[in-house]
Amino acid sequence: MVQNNALVIGIDCSTTACKAIAWNQQGQTVAFGKVLLPLLQPQPTWYEQDAARWWHSTCEAIQQLLTQINVSQVEAVCITHQRETFVAVDREGKPVRNAIAWMDKRSRNQVAFLNEKFGGQYINQVTGKPVSMTPSLSKIVWLTQHELENVARTYKFLDVHGFLVYNLTGNFRTSLASADPMGAMNMEAHCWATDLLTSLELREEQFAELVPPGEVIGYVNETGAAATGLPRGLRVIAGAGDGQCAGLGANAVGNCHCKDKLSNFEGIS
């Protein structure tokens, strides 16, 4: 039973900072925490981040927030994040290299390769994304062509949402609406684009399990509780990318044919 003074924590792990905000049932902000995130540029047009900082900044932002409220009021936590940015991790969820950010431009040749191999129309029809340097796919292909040793060590390619969910819950899961910007999903079937991945010598198992946004994606485990101060067993709700959530927050769905389906993927993708 939800208490009258129940709060929900929203986490926004964006390009420049991680924010944690507690909301009441009237949609009002009652507490706030924020920690800046550095952006790395190892070469011109390359942009990376230390994914471990996503987690550490999330923990610190949540800890700031919890000094302002009673943690017993918190009913759930949900994550939004910078889209297209991803990190390769090992079986223990540890990054094998820096995360590659959404604005990174190293994959120009891989975009040409994808267009030549598949044709832009095919990839766009399957994934809903154009062949460009913004979605994660071309940069994952760059890794397979330039960093074979790191790819061999990679257990999962995770979006920011998936990385934080793993650290909170121990589950390699992400939201459908968070995986969407990676450019490797079959948008019609709401699953990974297996045929596309296989053609690139990638496997579906190298990506996180998909969960519809709005559903419980896991529960804060002992490690996540110790790091954040959140209670063990707290529900973690599958969220979406920052752009999708911004549209929902601005009520930019009033004339959408899927207005009454905001809890499923079609309504927020």
- Domain ranges for the chain, please list them: 7-268
CA–CA distance, 195 with 126 (Å, rounded to integer)? 10
Q: Report yes or no: 23 and 32 within 8 Å, Cβ to Cβ.
A: no
Closest by alpha carbon to 156, among 216, 106, 104, 96? 96
**Considering the entire predicted model, what is its pTM?**
0.91
Distance (Å, whole) CA 66 – CA 166: 21
pLDDT of residue 247: 67
72 and 86 in contact (C-beta within 8 Å)? no
CB distance 51 to 95 below 8 Å: yes
Q: What average pLDDT is seen over the chain?
A: 91
Which residues contact residue 238 at a Cβ distance below 8 angstroms, ignoring those fewer than 6 apart? 78, 161, 173, 174, 175, 176, 177, 178, 211, 212, 213, 214, 215, 216, 217
Whether 62 shows a pLDDT value over 80: the answer reads: yes
**pLDDT band of 264, cuts 50, 70, 90:** very low
pLDDT value for 219:
98
- What was the pLDDT predicted at 3? 65
- Mean pLDDT of the 134-157 span: 97
Confidence of residue 266 (pLDDT cuts 50, 70, 90): very low
Whether the per-residue pLDDT at 240 is higher than 90: the answer is no
The answer on pLDDT for 262 being more than 50 is no
pLDDT at 257: 45
6-46 pLDDT, tens digit per residue, is 999 999 999 999 999 999 998 899 999 999 999 999 999 99
Q: What is the pLDDT of residue 58?
A: 98
What share of the chain has pLDDT > 90, as a percent? 84
Residue 255's pLDDT is 56
Q: What is the mean pLDDT of residues 237-255?
A: 74
The answer to whether the beta carbons of residues 177 and 204 sit under 8 Å apart is no
| Residue 269: per-residue pLDDT | 32
Q: By three-state DSSP, how is residue 255 classified?
A: coil
Q: CA-CA distance, 216 to 239, in Å (whole number)?
A: 10
Is residue 82 predicted with pLDDT exceeding 70? yes
Residue-level pLDDT at 254: 64
Which comes out higher in pLDDT, residue 241 or 81?
81
80 in Cβ contact with 242 (< 8 Å):
yes
Going by pLDDT thresholds of 50, 70 and 90, the confidence category of residue 268 is very low
Task: Classify domain 7-268 by CATH architecture.
Answer: 2-Layer Sandwich (3.30)
